Amino acid sequence: MTIDTNSLSPVESLLAPMRHSTHPYLTWYSQGGERVELSGRVFDNWVAKSANLLHEEFDLAPGSIVATDMPGHWKSAALALACWHLGAEVRCVAPGTDPGDVDIFITADTETLAVNGSVEVIAVPLPALAMAFDGPLPVGATDYASEVRAYADSFNPSPIDTSATALQGAAGSMAYTQLFAELPETGASGTTLLSTAWPLERLLPVLVSLWSAGNPVVLVEDGVKISDSLLGGERVVTRLDRES
């Protein structure tokens, strides 16, 4: 699939082909033994709900900057796409790092919730069935799990500047045109396995590339044993979890 960067949103072009699919789009394995299978329809709903939350509660818009120290996870992928629906920049920072001058800080780490200054904080519990964040939150912080489900399952994107920065991290930055049009060549075909041993800033462009090519993804948390049973059960064709 070729991403149309002249559309209302590059994310719209990415998700639209799978929006009504009941087939696996992203399957998650955690070290705790959690397996979460999200169809194209369900994943699109999570992205839409997240985009509506970010837009309606935080006025996220083109030019806004969202910092995150989230690990690779299906929720961090959904939230990144939600930010890009709105034309914002996603800035990946290391845990414990000052995010700088940003509009929102998204984290799953209780030790980094207390952010200095006036930055809006969104706390994200990682377990799929969590209905609320487990632990105290700073005054004014938003509990992602308890809030996001109330928002609409669809999102109507507005035009964005595709020359603007979409992703920034330690390795540099990528504009929307680079992230969604100049896709990295993965060599993958069919269901592809990735590991969160890769940092989020590296995972996100690869996810976009794989989904753009129509490849379902199996995302495993770093430390999960990748057995023949797992590979066979998920019908994995390509593995990109190992460094070449």
Residue 74, pLDDT > 80, answer yes
pLDDT at residue 238 tops 70:
yes
Percent of the chain scored above 90 by pLDDT? 73
Q: pLDDT of 83-103, one tens digit each? A: 999 999 999 999 888 888 899
Between CA 61 and CA 65 the distance in angstroms is 9
Assigned token pair, 15: 């998700």
* 197 contacts: CB under 8 Å, gap ≥ 6: 222, 241
Residues 30-69 have pLDDT tens digits of 999 999 999 999 999 999 999 999 999 999 999 999 999 9
What lies within 8 Å, CB to CB, of 77 at 6+ separation is: 26, 203, 204, 207, 219
Cβ atoms 9, 162 nearer than 8 A: no
pLDDT tier at 184, thresholds 50, 70, 90:
low
Question: Which two structure tokens, joined as six digits, stand for 71?
Answer: 């690990």
Give the containing element (helix H, strand E) for 24: strand 24-29
pLDDT at 119: 83
How confident is the model at residue 158, as a pLDDT?
Answer: 86
pLDDT above 60: residue 3: no
Q: Which residue has the tokens 């990295």?
A: 184
Ranges of beta strands (E only) in 182-232 are 192-195, 217-220
pLDDT value at residue 4: 45
Q: Mean pLDDT in the chain? A: 90
pLDDT digits (tens, 9 = 90+) for 114-142: 665 568 999 999 998 899 998 888 888 99
In this prediction, residue 186 carries a pLDDT of: 64
Helix-strand-coil percent breakdown of the chain, rounded to 5? 30, 20, 50
Q: Which tens digit of pLDDT belongs to each residue from 143-158? A: 999 999 999 999 998 8
Tokens matching residue 102? 């940003």
Q: Which residues contact 51 (CB under 8 A, 6 or more apart)?
A: 81, 82, 83, 85, 86, 155, 157
Q: How far apart are CA 21 and CA 4, in angstroms?
A: 20
Q: Model pTM?
A: 0.93
**Dist. CA 113–CA 105, nearest whole Å:** 9
**From residue 44, how far is each of 18, 48, 134 by CA, in Å?**
8, 6, 26
Backbone angles phi, psi at 4, to 5 degrees: -95, 100
Residue 244: what pLDDT? 40
- pLDDT recorded at residue 52: 98
Rg (alpha carbons) of the chain, rounded to whole number: 17
Q: Which of 194, 215, 199 shows the shortest CA–CA distance to 72?
A: 199
Count the helices and strands in the chain (H runs, E runs): 7, 12
